[in-house]
Amino acid sequence: MSHLPQLTQKILLSCLLVSTLCLADENIIAVNKAEVAIDIDGKATEQVWNNAQWLPIDKHIVGEYPSSDDFSGRYKLLWDEDYLYLMAEINDDVLFDQYANPTEKYWDDDSLEVFIDEDASGGMHRFSFNAFAYHVALDNQSADIGPNKADGSSNFILLNDHVKSQWRRDANSPYSITWELAIKLYDDSFTLKGTHMPVKLTKGKVIGFMLAYCDNDGSSEREHFIGSHDIKPKDGDKNLGYIDAGVFGKIKLQ
Ligand SMILES: [Ca+2]
Ligand SMILES: [Ca+2]
Ligand SMILES: [Ca+2]
Ligand SMILES: [Ca+2]
């Protein structure tokens, strides 16, 4: 650009900056505030849910891509000072919960997986609380991986206090369930010891976020894993969300 007049260079740089910001903003999902409290009962009866737009859960992560009656889903988000609220509408032909123990192979049971990176830092989080991957099961318990145990083995834990969850079937459409969640956000200082306060949410806050559904209809392992965001494969593998918060998308509280 050095051969162009200085004013033209400045204009071009400004245009480049504006278009970069616009592009970046296009990828950030704007989340509206819930002005009234939301009752987590698996029913979308609160008027305020109408202020949130449906977004698809349709990006392939693992397994064959399912037909729409095998799995399809969409979700919407709201927030207030205390919670990120999530409503998911899931169509799944068989609801399957083979492991009674909520910390045993929870990813091979039907579950809604909510990925949260409170400060949108990105980076590795599998054995830390830099970010969370809450697997919300059909029994409404939420499991994740914590720091390794003293003997070095994996530590599958419940973080039920972080996620309040309730789902209901639709009597007129038995394969459709409405799942309503209120999620408290914890920053990366969270540990399994002591008392930690959730982060108070404020307008303008940017959060790392992704959502996915583990669908199993009776197999030994999950049959499909479909998410809300495109994931760039690493060595052919798109199942990276439970390891790397860098593959999450971003949301911004409006
Ligand atoms: Ca409700
Ligand atoms: Ca299914
Ligand atoms: Ca983080
Ligand atoms: Ca299923």
Residue 129 lies in a domain: yes
Q: Which residue from 90, 171, 173 is spatially nearest to 136, judged by alpha carbons?
A: 90
Distance CA 198, CA 104 (A): 27
Protein residues with C-beta less than 5 angstroms from the ion ligand 4? 92, 94, 96, 110, 215, 217
Ligand nearest to the CA of 110: 4
The stretches in the chain having pLDDT less than 70 are 1-26
How close is the Cα of 219 to the center of ligand 2, in Å? Answer: 11
- Taking only the tens place, the pLDDT of each residue in 56-104 is 999 999 999 999 999 999 999 999 999 999 999 999 999 999 999 999 9
How close is the Cα of 17 to the center of ligand 2, in Å? Answer: 45
How close is the Cα of 37 to the center of ligand 4, in Å? Answer: 31
- Taking only the tens place, the pLDDT of each residue in 19-37 is 434 345 568 999 999 999 8
Residue 3 lies in a domain: no
How close is the Cα of 118 to the center of ligand 3, in Å? Answer: 6
Looking at residue 170, what is its pLDDT?
A: 87
Residue 104 lies in a domain: yes
Residue 247 lies in a domain: yes
How close is the Cα of 97 to the center of ligand 3, in Å? Answer: 30
Residue 229 lies in a domain: yes
The 3 state secondary structure assigned to 57-112 is ECEEEEECCCCCCCEEEEEEEEECCCCEEEEEEEEECCCCCCCCCCCCCHHHCCEE
CATH for 96: 2.60.40.1190
Q: Which two tokens stand for residue 115?
A: 């990925």
Looking at residue 9, what is its pLDDT?
A: 56
Looking at residue 3, what is its pLDDT?
A: 54
How close is the Cα of 53 to the center of ligand 2, in Å? Answer: 24
Residue 137 lies in a domain: yes
Residue 8 lies in a domain: no
Looking at residue 10, what is its pLDDT?
A: 56
How close is the Cα of 92 to the center of ligand 4, in Å? Answer: 5
* Containing structural domain, residue 84: 30-253
Structural domain tally of the chain? Answer: 1
Looking at residue 23, what is its pLDDT?
A: 44
Residue 97 lies in a domain: yes
How close is the Cα of 163 to the center of ligand 3, in Å? Answer: 18
Looking at residue 63, what is its pLDDT?
A: 97
